[in-house]
Amino acid sequence: MDLTVVINTYNEEENIADCISSAKLLSDDIIVIDMESVDKTTTLAKTHGAQIFSFHHSNYVEPGREFGISKAKTDWVFILDADERLTQELAKEINRNIKNQFLSTTHYRIPRKNVFGKVKWLKNGGWWPDYQVRLINKKHFSSWPKRIHSTPIVKGQIGYLKNPILHYFHGNIEKMVEKTIEFENIESDLLYNAKKEADVSTFFRKFIAEFTRRLIIKMGFLDGAIGFIESMYQAFSKTITYLFLYEKNRSKKT
């Protein structure tokens, strides 16, 4: 196939072998963009047939996205994270679409099935269909903004695929908290640079609003105990962002 799978990694020795195995359902042309891992990620990736490129360390993947796409020599690229998996059904659907010469679509949104701890698919709480732009025709790719949780800028017509990527997230509470601290600190920097303010009332408002949105409005309660836990956790994460913002604003004033 005229397609390269690009995988961004940092210390993903637990995931990379299974990720590459699933990527091979789509293409044997696999590139790993490693952000200076200190574990066995790159060794395992080479063993499983991936080509490795190094990129400077970042706490989130977006700074390395554009670099990874630039290393692909094919017209099409598929972006996959180490904790995500392709399925046979999705690979077949992608194959059909990019071989269809009558389609003018230049990039695709793909639904992502978020599976909590590899045991529970979160169908509610705002977690489904969680569309992500992951299939891109390089000829029409412009750039990928470096900010966290950004989406690529691609010229042309966007399409939607039906079959999902599997995303195995939140498998370890300790790692969840570590990632939250990293990500929310970055989010608070964006708010700080935008001159946003926060006080004690903000913490309560943000927690209650996010918890209500996830659990009640988006019906996270339908996912049972894990839906409740995830709603609580997302509210906690949102509050941490504004706690960081409060601290940064206070440090500036002193």
Task: State the pLDDT confidence band at 132, using cuts at 50, 70 and 90.
Answer: very high
| Among 33, 107, 20, 23, CA closest to 68 | 33
pLDDT at 252: 79
Give the pLDDT band (50/70/90) at residue 39.
Answer: very high
Reported as a single tens digit per residue, the pLDDT across 53-76 is 999 999 899 999 999 999 999 999
Q: Give the model's confidence band at 30: pLDDT under 50 very low, under 70 low, under 90 confident, else very high.
A: very high
The Cα 135–Cα 83 span in angstroms is 17
**pLDDT score of 101 more than 80:** no
pLDDT class of 204 with cuts at 50, 70, 90? very high
Evaluate if residue 173 carries a pLDDT over 80: no
Domains within the chain, CATH numbers bracketed: 3-169 (3.90.550.10), 173-253 (no CATH)
Percent of the chain residues topping a pLDDT of 90: 89
Q: Where does residue 142 rank: exposed (0-12), middle (13-18), buried (19+ CB within 10 A)?
A: exposed
